[in-house]
Amino acid sequence: MKDLIWLIPLFPLAGFLVNGLVYLIDHRTKGEPLHDELHSHQAAAESQKHLGHPHAHMHEETHPEPKLIHTIVGPGSVALSCLFAFGAIFDLGLSRLSEGAVHVVTLYRWLPLGVNEAVGQVPGKAAEWFVDAAFRLDSLSALMLAFVTFVGFLIHVYSVGYMGHDAGYGRYFAYLNLFMFSMLVLVLGNNFLLLFVGWEGVGLCSYLLIGYDYHKKNAADAGKKAFVVNRIGDFGFILGIFGVFALFGSLDFGKVFPAAAAAGPDVTPYMTLICICLFVGACGKSAQFPLYVWLPDAMAGPTPVSALIHAATMVTAGVYMVSRCNVLFRLSPDAMVVVAVIGGFTALFAATIGLAQNDIKKVLAYSTVSQLGYMFLACGVGAFVAGMFHVLTHAFFKACLFLGSGSVIHALSGEQDIQRMGGLSSKIRTTYRTFLIATIAIAGIPPLAGFFSKDAILGAVFEAHMPTAPVWLPRLLWVTGIFTAGMTAFYMFRLVSLTFWGTYRGTAEQESHIHESPSSMTIPLIVLAFLSIVGGWIGIPIARGGDKIGEFLSPILLPLAGAHSAEHHANVSLEVLLMAASVAVAVTGILLAYVWYAKGGGETPAKIAQRYPGVYRAVYNKYYVDEAYNALFVEGLAKGGGRFLWEVDATVVDLIPNGAAGVTKAFSWISSLFDQYVVDGLVNGLADTLQAGYRMFRSAQTGRVQNYALVMGAGLFAIVAVYLVFR
Amino acid sequence: MTITINHFLIVSFLLFSIGFFGVLVRRNFLTVLMSVELMLNAVNLNLVAFSKRLSSLTGQVFSVFVITIAAGEAAIGLALTISLFRQRKTLNVEEANTLQG
């Protein structure tokens, strides 16, 4: 089974092909152009919604077969992946994985790049350059594999219910399957290049799925924005890959990391450069500070997509990549400081924006950015295990939250503004319960999942040892982290208060349609809520041997020497104190949100907003970052730069064509002279000669008979004379 | 003095020359036709002279043919003269130069 891991990504690929082909053939045979078809069905779907029967749709009734194929193939291929993933993990054995077992399946030599003639400059530098198409199963990829396939499968099942009345059902599942393929290639790839292929693949699918409703301008624009912003990050990432290849002559994880571990301190400057480049890539994909702007806009995509791609899996790829490269990052304390500071800043920054958003999905989006910042904060202080732990628990509760918000939106016929919700707890009970559980989990209340991972991060930050940073930096980061935790609890419970508690504030028409989602949507919610409760129990830090996830990941993500492991367990009292602090902050946030929004009806926050209108407006408008980027990069750099480049083009660059034109002109003048005098001279000369000749002969033809007779006589005389003379 | 063939030939030559000269220089179309008759008769004289000298009747037969053809030629020439006069109200050959190049 463990030798069949290459099948894991291939199932969704096959699913993509089948879904895509069936969708295309279905639409071809109906003889309708794809685009118009979509519009008409969209309109039909909307009118159905108004009638309150979102599931009764023309498409289902007239063409049941393609829809059935999509329903089976879409989630089915991911279910097979999930089955094979767990099969492979258990075949290799959890205990062996935690002992450091690595299983590599090489499919074929992908890029043979020749022989390296400069062997021996850096220890461990490879003698032959090549890249294999190889998949790697170790404890880190096993963890990712398990939750990506499992959460992916749940969200596919959820999509069956959520997208059931959409005309692009087949297209949706084709894209979603393609995403799973790319993500699994990313997770399983055994070298940087294969990782990069998956990385670009998930970026493409993200673009396709954000812009899924491409006839809506905001969705199409959001897709483009995500793609462009990700390209900036990918540029850094690929530079980092080049750096790795230049330094080690290989891209194979199994070669690069041991070589890096064996390398001396003289590679540190290169490492700083490479790691910063790699981290720029991670910033793009995982929406960190300068490049986070695409993620909130990405909420224009369907909600299950937001759950799968923009919360649970793809956006954690950056954390996975940084963790995978932890050996490289450990060699560069400066790069680690950068990672920690960017992560901590993003966590705080995004959380403050989340305080004032009114779109249910936007709140969750900023929450995601904030939590991703947490993960990078953990990576930056060397607690890669804590970072990956948070990736895992975050995948559970954030997917649950997004799917719950999708269920809420579904129930309210597309309403996303939490100002027009409220009092839904009694109407959609399953959604409410699961959403509440996930909210408690993200807020960091024990014994739910979020508490353990967040606490692991905060503990690691508190005890962080950063040799090249100022002494106060770890403490500052810890304060940032715990403050963010409080804000997270606050805005999440603000969301719950406004959505589920209090009284209903929407229209009566919407209220009459409120209904619980079908079981294909609620069952994934229940499973994810359950995992949000128990998911953290694999990393209980106090009990000796309770940190199972740390043990499991230890072969790949060695803790920083002396900073975390042994000393950490010894200092139980400090641990408990930190836990108490984070729980106290979370409870404060929850109570504040409850008192202000559920009891007080939002009057106190409104007063605060009135007293500090500038602050409120800045937060509400997301600190005008989008506007600043627009002014700076789109207007300033792109358009102003365009004008500048135009000037350069008109003055400098045009010298070349103008010069060439001048030379051409001179040559053409010479050749025109040649043409005029030599060629035309020949032609005209011939004509003139002929003309002169015919003038001469013309004068002979006088029209006078007597002239002719004279010439005839003269001719006769001449002939006779010649005869007589030469006889 | 005996009359030899040379005398005949000299008369014939003079007659032909006068006819040819008339054809070349006279303006009137009718006179040109008459000059052509002179030339034909100079040839006839030549034919008869040689017929006598060679004691062969062929020359005389030929001259009868020429007289016949000359009659036809005169008829056609006069017809052309009338036609030309009707067209141009003149018989001046200098003016009949429509075929000038």
The answer to whether position A315 is within a domain reads: yes
Number of A to B CB contacts under 8 A, please give it: 32
The answer to whether position A362 is within a domain reads: yes
Band of pLDDT at residue A61, cut at 50, 70 and 90: very low
Q: What pLDDT is attached to residue A564?
A: 46
Q: What pLDDT is attached to residue A570?
A: 52
* A424 and A526 assigned to the same domain: yes
Q: What pLDDT is attached to residue A699?
A: 81
> Do the Cβ atoms of B23 and A709 come within 8 Å?
yes
> What are residue B9's phi and psi, to 5 degrees?
-65, -35
> Do the Cβ atoms of A713 and B24 come within 8 Å?
yes
Chain A residues closer than 8 Å to B32 by CB: 706
> Do the Cβ atoms of B20 and A700 come within 8 Å?
no
Band of pLDDT at residue A46, cut at 50, 70 and 90: very low
> Do the Cβ atoms of B100 and A701 come within 8 Å?
yes
DSSP alpha helix (H) spans, A2-121: 7-29, 34-51, 58-62, 64-92, 94-98
Whole-number CA gyration radius for chain B: 17
> Do the Cβ atoms of B93 and A703 come within 8 Å?
no
CB contact B67 to A (< 8 Å): no
Inter-axis angle of helices B29-54 and B58-88, nearest 10: 180
CB contact A664 to B (< 8 Å): no
Instruction: Answer yes or no: is pLDDT of A634 > 80.
Output: no
Cβ-contact A153, A523 below 8 angstroms: no
Residue that is written with structure tokens 């309770």 in the block: A546
pTM (two decimals): 0.72
> Do the Cβ atoms of B100 and A709 come within 8 Å?
no
Task: Determine the residue type at B71.
Answer: A
Residues comprising chain A, all counted: 727
The rounded distance, in Å, linking the Cα atoms of A543 and A413 is 47
Q: What DSSP element (H or E) covers A666? A: helix A655-674
Question: Which of A698, A701, A706 comes nearest B93 by C-beta?
Answer: A706
The answer to whether position A148 is within a domain reads: no
The rounded distance, in Å, linking the Cα atoms of A545 and A527 is 27
> Do the Cβ atoms of B97 and A703 come within 8 Å?
yes
Beta bridge partners of A108: A133
The answer to whether position A76 is within a domain reads: no
- A197-209 residue pLDDT tens: 999 999 999 999 9
* A300 and A323 assigned to the same domain: yes
Distance from the A714 Cα atom to the nearest Cα atom in chain B, whole angstroms: 11
- A672-716 residue pLDDT tens: 988 888 888 888 889 999 888 888 888 878 888 888 888 899 999
* A646 and A688 assigned to the same domain: no
Residues A374-400: what's their mean pLDDT? Answer: 91
Pick from A696, A698, A705 the residue to mutate for testing the B interface (most B CBs within 10 Å).
A705
Q: What pLDDT is attached to residue A526?
A: 92
CB contact B93 to A (< 8 Å): yes
* A536 and A634 assigned to the same domain: no
Band of pLDDT at residue A603, cut at 50, 70 and 90: confident
Please count the structural domains in chain A: 3
- A192-239 residue pLDDT tens: 999 999 999 999 999 999 989 888 888 998 999 999 999 989 999 999
> Do the Cβ atoms of A704 and B97 come within 8 Å?
yes
Chain A residues closer than 8 Å to B25 by CB: 706
Nearest CA in chain B to A704: B97
CB contact B24 to A (< 8 Å): yes
Cβ-contact B19, B39 below 8 angstroms: yes
Q: What DSSP element (H or E) covers A106? A: strand A103-115
* A580 and A684 assigned to the same domain: no
What is the share, in percent, of chain A residues with pLDDT greater than 90? 31
* A524 preceded by a cis bond (ω within 30 of 0): no
Chain A residues closer than 8 Å to B100 by CB: 701-704
* A543 and A649 assigned to the same domain: no
Parallel/antiparallel/unpaired status of strands A103-115 and A128-137: antiparallel
A465 Rama sector, left if φ>0, alpha if ψ -120 to 50, beta otherwise: beta
Give the DSSP letter of residue A630: I
Contacts of A244 (CB under 8 A, 6+ apart): A192, A251, A256, A274, A328
Q: What pLDDT is attached to residue A3?
A: 84
* A703 and A639 assigned to the same domain: no
CATH number of B5-88: 1.10.287.3510
> Do the Cβ atoms of B100 and A706 come within 8 Å?
no
Question: Which of A697, A703, A713 comes nearest B100 by C-beta?
Answer: A703
Question: What one-character-per-residue DSSP string does A317-386 give?
Answer: HHHHHHHHTHHHHHT-HHHHHHHHHHHHHHHHHHHHHHTT--BHHHHHHHHHHHHHHHHHHHHHTT-HHH
Pick from A706, A712, A717 the residue to mutate for testing the B interface (most B CBs within 10 Å).
A706
Question: Which of A704, A709, A713 comes nearest B94 by C-beta?
Answer: A704
* A465 and A599 assigned to the same domain: yes
> Do the Cβ atoms of B93 and A705 come within 8 Å?
yes
> What are residue A64's phi and psi, to 5 degrees?
-75, -25
The answer to whether position A183 is within a domain reads: no
Cβ-contact A163, A169 below 8 angstroms: yes
Instruction: Answer yes or no: is pLDDT of A720 > 60.
Output: yes
C-alpha pair distances (Å), A258 with each of A102, A248, A326, A553, B66: 13, 10, 12, 17, 133
Q: What pLDDT is attached to residue A567?
A: 46
Instruction: Answer yes or no: is pLDDT of A51 > 50.
Output: no
Distance from the B17 Cα atom to the nearest Cα atom in chain A, whole angstroms: 11
Chain A residues closer than 8 Å to B96 by CB: 703, 705
**Higher local confidence (pLDDT), A57 or A425:** A425
Q: What pLDDT is attached to residue A53?
A: 42
* A581 and A682 assigned to the same domain: no
CB contact B25 to A (< 8 Å): yes
* A259 and A277 assigned to the same domain: yes
Residues A22-34: what's their mean pLDDT? Answer: 74
- pLDDT < 50: residue spans in chain B: none
Q: What DSSP element (H or E) covers A427? A: none
Cβ-contact A247, A253 below 8 angstroms: no
The answer to whether position A613 is within a domain reads: no
Chain B residues closer than 8 Å to A697 by CB: 101
Token pair in block for residue A638: 């792109």
Band of pLDDT at residue A561, cut at 50, 70 and 90: very low
> Do the Cβ atoms of A713 and B25 come within 8 Å?
no
* Portion 670-709 of A in contact with B at CB < 8 A: 697-706, 709
Nearest CA in chain A to B26: A706
The rounded distance, in Å, linking the Cα atoms of A294 and A365 is 10
Distance from the B1 Cα atom to the nearest Cα atom in chain A, whole angstroms: 30
Instruction: Answer yes or no: is pLDDT of A95 > 60.
Output: yes
Range A231-256 burial, b when 16+ CB lie within 10 A, else e: ebbbebbbbbbebbbebbbbbbbebb
* A641 and A698 assigned to the same domain: no
Residues A304-320: what's their mean pLDDT? Answer: 89
Q: What pLDDT is attached to residue B82?
A: 92
Question: Which of B20, B25, B99 comes nearest A703 by C-beta?
Answer: B99
The answer to whether position A527 is within a domain reads: yes
Chain A residues closer than 8 Å to B39 by CB: none
Instruction: Answer yes or no: is pLDDT of A41 > 80.
Output: no
The answer to whether position A278 is within a domain reads: yes
Question: What one-character-per-residue DSSP string does A67-81 give?
Answer: HHHHHHHHHHHHHHH
ipTM above 0.90, yes or no: no
Contacts of A352 (CB under 8 A, 6+ apart): A487, A619
The rounded distance, in Å, linking the Cα atoms of A397 and A15 is 27
Distance from the B91 Cα atom to the nearest Cα atom in chain A, whole angstroms: 13
Question: What one-character-per-residue DSSP string does A113-158 give?
Answer: EEE-SSTTSSTT--SEEEEEEEEEESHHHHHHHHHHHHHHHHHHHH
Nearest CA in chain A to B94: A704
Q: What domain range includes position A452?
A: 100-138+199-608
Nearest CA in chain B to A709: B24
* A443 and A565 assigned to the same domain: yes
> What are residue A623's phi and psi, to 5 degrees?
60, 20
Q: What pLDDT is attached to residue A48?
A: 44
Residues A644-648: what's their mean pLDDT? Answer: 80
CB contact B96 to A (< 8 Å): yes
The rounded distance, in Å, linking the Cα atoms of A386 and A392 is 10
DSSP alpha helix (H) spans, A501-612: 508-513, 519-534, 548-553, 565-570, 572-593, 603-611
Cβ-contact A589, A595 below 8 angstroms: no
- A495-551 residue pLDDT tens: 998 888 888 887 777 778 888 888 888 899 999 999 999 888 887 766 555 677 877
C-alpha pair distances (Å), B56 with each of A395, B46, B62, B68: 143, 13, 11, 20
C-alpha pair distances (Å), B25 with each of A179, A612, A710: 114, 131, 10
Exposed / middle / buried, residue A299 (Cβ in 10 Å: 0-12, 13-18, 19+): buried
Instruction: Answer yes or no: is pLDDT of A344 > 70.
Output: yes
Instruction: Give the mean pLDDT of chain A.
Output: 84
Question: What one-character-per-residue DSSP string does A232-250 give?
Answer: HHHHHHHHHHHHHHHHHS-
Pick from A704, A712, A717 the residue to mutate for testing the B interface (most B CBs within 10 Å).
A704
> Do the Cβ atoms of B93 and A704 come within 8 Å?
yes
If one counts every other C-beta atom within 10 angstroms of the C-beta of residue B13, the result is 13
Q: What pLDDT is attached to residue A49?
A: 44
CB contact B20 to A (< 8 Å): yes
The rounded distance, in Å, linking the Cα atoms of A685 and A706 is 36
> Do the Cβ atoms of B20 and A713 come within 8 Å?
yes
